[in-house]
Amino acid sequence: MQALLILNIVGLAPRLVGPLTPHLRALADGGALRPLTCLAPALTCPVQATFMTGATPASHGIVGNGWYFREMAEIGFWKQSNRLVHGEKIWEAGKARDARFTCANLFWWYNMAAAHDYGATPRPIYKADGRKLPDCYTKPAAWREKLGAALGPFPLFQFWGPGTSIASSRWIAGAAGIAMTELSPTLTLAYLPHLDYDLQRHGPDMSHPAVRQSLADIDRVAGQLIDQARQAGRRVLVVSEYGITPVDRPVHLNRHLREAGYLAVRTEDGAELLDPIASCAFAVADHQIAHVYVARAEQIEPVRALLAAIPGVEAVWRGTGRAALGLDHPRSGELVAMADARSWFTHYYWLDDARAPDFARTVEIHRKPGYDPAELFFDPALRWPKLAVAWRLLRRKLGMRAPMDVIGLDANVVKGSHGRPVDDPDDGPLIIADRADALPAGAFAAEALKALAMAIVFDAAPATSPAPAREAVSSAGAADA
């Protein structure tokens, strides 16, 4: 079997591979670079599940980074059990071909309860006094101690939030390097998220110093891991889940639904919580895509018409029309909305910031009923944000409860987003192979990555078949039943 490294560099687009990324450019120049067919929704969890299974969301069931769990009547984001993903996983396909096949999965999502041999994923420690401590979950459990001894604790607060830095991607790359050296898996999957941060903060602005620095930083980290893999005789593929494009208009779907009388809230201690059980309709917003759950069939068309008329909404699909996005699945909302190119969807449902729940101003990826990129920013109203964080940490160490309420509620700070298909393939996701004959001509489909990996591992043959044909997503027929 031929050992293989698949490196997932989030947010990397063909347009970004150039002078600021000499290692990645060298890999592409010596091999092949192709645009990746932009799977919709172009979101982390659905795309990674497609990479893992070779299927679309309509089959594997991962319809977003989160959705409304109807059985529990709860909105859930960033769940971690691999049992939520339907279909044969790439490591299961490998073992079916050869029982000696092994896989190390470094921080690809749905990492827990998986049949891969080695794994690592973020898993904070939540203390009773409100503290959140950095940590990770590994398979086998003892590997956590070995990684910690070699690399230090996993830098959780540099992985997501206003304090993100290259440290988290460097740690993950270090763990992948240890896995390749000490465990020698047949397939190594590694996830490097660093580009995601500044591209969402500033947009893909190549003149911005932070964006330029992020590109140089991730190229250095990725280059070192690629060199290590190739020196050990491993083949290398680099993929990205999506490209990030500029936005300047947040759209508050839930506020529109509330003002129209469809969305209900529950008041707790003076703050408002979205009440999905009592609501006639609500949106689970996820970047530029939103699943809209509607309680009664006769309300679907009126809600669709309301959403379609909101500035910034490009299309709304219902029923079988959701297949245009590959989202005709029971977990999807009765309606699926897509933003236009300059817009993205917030989860905000309160009409007065004074009534927002306390966790709205914190990094809280599990309690918020939607994705919140404002968590990448300190509240601009804080004159000394790091001092504000230090003061809250000190209060916690003294035994007092202190919410880390340092996140603002102004969605206009966000300058980059993703989720909808891109208008220009150079702005979308990509695949880079280490050999020129490894990829067929033209765009490469995300669903084909699993088969390509199996061909490299077991056949050592170049890809010869074109990517599966897929029609471009269109708003035509968005109201189909």
Q: What is the pLDDT of residue 121?
A: 98
CB atoms within 10 A of CB 59: 16
Judged against a pLDDT cut of 50, whether residue 463 lies above it is answered with: no
Q: Which of left, alpha, beta for 91 (phi over 0: left; psi -120 to 50: alpha)?
A: alpha
Confidence of residue 404 (pLDDT cuts 50, 70, 90): confident
Q: What is the pLDDT of residue 153?
A: 96
Judged against a pLDDT cut of 70, whether residue 236 lies above it is answered with: yes
Q: What is the pLDDT of residue 75?
A: 98
Q: pLDDT tens across 417-449, in order?
A: 999 999 999 999 999 999 999 999 999 999 999
Q: pLDDT tens across 156-192, in order?
A: 999 999 999 999 999 999 999 999 999 999 999 999 9
Q: pLDDT tens across 310-368, in order?
A: 999 999 999 999 998 889 999 999 999 999 999 999 999 999 999 999 999 999 999 99
Judged against a pLDDT cut of 80, whether residue 31 lies above it is answered with: yes
Query: 331, 243, 251, 234: which is closest to 289 by C-alpha?
Result: 251
Q: Which helix (H) or strand (E) holds 65?
A: none
Q: What is the pLDDT of residue 478?
A: 64
CA distance 40 to 21: 27
Q: What is the CA radius of gyration of the chain?
A: 22
CB neighbours of 195 closer than 8 A, spacing ≥ 6? 9, 10, 11, 12, 16, 214, 215, 218, 244
Global confidence as pTM: 0.94
Give me the mean pLDDT over the 392-411 stretch: 86
Q: What is the pLDDT of residue 466?
A: 42
Q: What is the pLDDT of residue 479?
A: 58
Judged against a pLDDT cut of 90, whether residue 477 lies above it is answered with: no
CA distance 46 to 40: 8
Q: pLDDT tens across 192-234, in order?
A: 999 999 999 999 999 999 999 999 999 999 999 999 999 999 9
SS3 string of 185-252?
CCEEEEEECCHHHHHHHHCCCCCCHHHHHHHHHHHHHHHHHHHHHHHCCCEEEEECCCECEECCEEEC
Judged against a pLDDT cut of 70, whether residue 253 lies above it is answered with: yes
Collapsing DSSP to helix, strand or coil, 35 comes out as strand
Average pLDDT, the chain: 94
What is the DSSP pairing of strand 32-37 with strand 444-445? parallel
Judged against a pLDDT cut of 50, whether residue 148 lies above it is answered with: yes
Judged against a pLDDT cut of 60, whether residue 66 lies above it is answered with: yes
Confidence of residue 388 (pLDDT cuts 50, 70, 90): confident
Q: pLDDT tens across 86-99, in order?
A: 999 999 999 999 99
Q: What is the pLDDT of residue 452?
A: 98
